[in-house]
Amino acid sequence: MAQTLGLGIVMGCAAVFLLTTMDTGAKWLGTMGVPTFVVVWMRFVSPQIAVSALFTYSDGWAVWRSKAPWLQVGRSVSLATATACLFIALRYLSMTTNVAIIYLIPFFVAALAYPLLGERLKLVQWLCILGGLSGVALVIEPWTLSDSLSWPFIFSFGMAICTAFYQLFSRMAARYDSLATSQVYTTLAGCLIFAPLALTQWPADLDWYLLLVLATYGLLGGIAHWFMTSALSFTPASIISPLFYSNILWVVAYDALLFAKPPNLLTLVGCCVVIAFGLLFFHLRNKTVA
């Protein structure tokens, strides 16, 4: 039992590391002059080809038959929108600032679960959400922002809200479709929506090593999701979910080493505040479920 639990924790942490590395790769490609929508499109194309080939080969064409097509469209479009918002925000904001806003996703999921799924929150859980927002306020320091610097945060918050919708639509779709069916539709909208924008912006003189990064970095997301799905299959979600907060270690390291933007003390304090309220929120939710 202890060995299985340890393996689940290792796989969960590895998934978080790979996802953080993928987002860092997107920001690095932006600094190298690769257009945003080229990066966004390749983020979807690589896993779509791999996942579609795998599940079509193993399950046949029946894997594409959804009993809830509008839910699949909703979750796929939500993920595409969230990814585009994230990559735009990463052009202008540090990794650490973005990750503090990403930490709000579980709170947004919980808040939206009431109108969509009828799941009610207790007062103390709403207070945790407000506490998480206060931590993000410390990171953003809105009192210091000028109009020219405030607009990227719209995309960052848009990313968090769209990701929350994606997670909720995924939970709803799981009532009707298999995991394999949901997987083949996950990145399909991104492939279709961003193809015209990416192909018209595609650089004529793209260096071979940048093309190699573009072709492979999207696969990190697929590997990460496989790690996370496998870990959740034999490890309680109450243990795996909080592991997401371990990405602050990688984010701070990447910001300092690759982009020469080490976080200031107030940013780190704000991240710790969000993590603290997030862990309390997870504890209260698991206690309520139990």
The per-residue pLDDT for range 273-285, each reduced to its tens digit, is 888 888 888 777 6
Tell me, what's the pLDDT at 271? 83
CA neighbor of 255 nearest in space, from 90, 38, 37: 90
Find where tokens 């940048």 sit.
210
What are the boundaries of each domain within the chain?
2-289
For the cut 80, the answer to whether the pLDDT of residue 9 exceeds it is no
For range 194-223, the mean pLDDT = 81
Q: pLDDT at residue 18 above 90? A: no
pLDDT, position 236: 66
Higher pLDDT, 209 or 185: 185
Using a pLDDT cut of 70, give the percent of the chain over it: 88
C-beta atoms surrounding 232 within 10 Å: 17
pLDDT at position 117 is 74
Over 70: is that where the pLDDT of 144 sits? no
Q: What is the pLDDT of residues 210-257, one digit of tens each?
A: 778 777 777 777 777 677 767 766 666 566 667 777 788 888 888 888
Which pLDDT belongs to residue 77?
94
- State the chain's mean pLDDT as an integer: 81
Q: Would you state the pLDDT for residue 149? A: 60
Global pTM?
0.80
Residue from 151, 138, 142 nearest 103 by CA: 138
pLDDT band at 78 (very low <50, low <70, confident <90, very high): very high
Is the pLDDT at 145 greater than 60, yes or no? no
% residues pLDDT > 90 (the chain) = 10
The model's confidence at residue 101, banded by pLDDT at 50, 70 and 90, is: confident
CA torsion through residues 124, 127, 131, 132, sign: positive
pLDDT at 196: 92
Query: Among 290, 277, 278, which Cα is nearest to 241's?
Result: 278
Q: Is the pLDDT of residue 23 over 90?
A: no
Token pair of 184, please?
A: 């083949």
- Residue bearing the bigger pLDDT, 233 or 88: 88
SS3 content of the chain, % helix, strand, coil (to 5): 85, 0, 15
